[in-house]
Amino acid sequence: MPYDLKEIAAISGMPGLYRLVKPTRAGVIIESLDARATRSVASARNKVSLLQEISIYTQDYDQTVPLTEVFDRIHSKYGTDLTVTNKSEDRELTAFMGDIIPDYDRDRVYMSDIKKLVQWYHSVSSTLEYQAPATETETAEPAAEEAATPTTVDQPVEAEEATAKKPKAKKKAEAADQPEKNESN
């Protein structure tokens, strides 16, 4: 995944993007993604939308493009120097969106959505580090190594678990026997 969007959220009623830090009883502690990185609490009443769960509609009614993939496409074409801003003309924004996702649904993706997408990309690309996706050879090698090692590693662990369980069972049996001995005395 190019940008790690698991902890990044848009919160209703609050401008900008936020990193989720820690849950509280009344909501969640958040940290702004701007240069100041101020922390505050978002109440449980606010709607928190994780960027990882957001998608863009396409012409195929049942298909969407996840925001992480959209950000990856933007980064591969423009890098972190995106010339379009959320203040750009509507014509430039629709051309940009058509360049990134040619088959996006023009009826369900509004101009405000495209402006928000551009604004979010600027915020994320300036704050988070881009992680290049792993190639197929890199992912195949660790998978082959993992497939070979579990058979040798699991056997000692299972033996340790079995021996660890037996003494506990003996202790429980001894504890159960002791009250009976005390009753007979």
Give the other-Cβ count within 10 Å of 119's Cβ. 16
* Interatomic CA distance for residues 135 and 50, integer angstroms: 27
Q: What is the pLDDT of residues 80-128, one digit of tens each?
A: 788 888 888 999 999 999 999 999 999 999 999 999 999 998 888 888 7
Domain boundary among 88, 109, 127: 127
SS3 content of the chain, % helix, strand, coil (to 5): 50, 20, 35
144 and 94 in a common domain: no
The whole domain housing 37 covers 8-50
Q: Are residues 29 and 59 in the same domain?
A: no
Residue 185 belongs to a domain:
no
Indicate if 106 and 41 belong to the same structural domain.
no
Alpha helices (H) along 49-149: 67-78, 90-100, 111-127, 136-148
Q: How confident is the model at residue 163 (pLDDT cuts 50, 70, 90)?
A: very low
pTM for the full model? 0.66
Domain count, the chain: 3
Residue 155 has pLDDT above 90, yes or no: no
Instruction: Choose among 58, 52, 50: nearest CA to 100.
Output: 58
| 63 and 100 belong to one structural domain | yes
More confident residue, 35 or 160: 35
Tokens coding 67: 């925001």
pLDDT for residue 28 is more than 50: yes
Q: Do residues 63 and 34 both lie within one domain?
A: no
Identify whether the C-beta of residue 56 lies closer than 8 Å to the C-beta of residue 109: yes
What whole-number distance in Å separates Cα of residue 164 and Cα of residue 57? 54
Q: Is the pLDDT of residue 47 over 80?
A: yes
- Residue 39's domain is classified under what CATH number? 2.30.30
The residues, any chain, with a CB within 8 Å of residue 82's CB and separated by 6 or more, are: 74, 118, 121, 122, 125
Amino acid 138 reads: E
| pLDDT exceeds cutoff 70 at 147 | no
Q: Where are the beta strands (DSSP E) in the chain?
A: 8-11, 17-23, 27-32, 39-43, 48-50, 55-57, 64-66
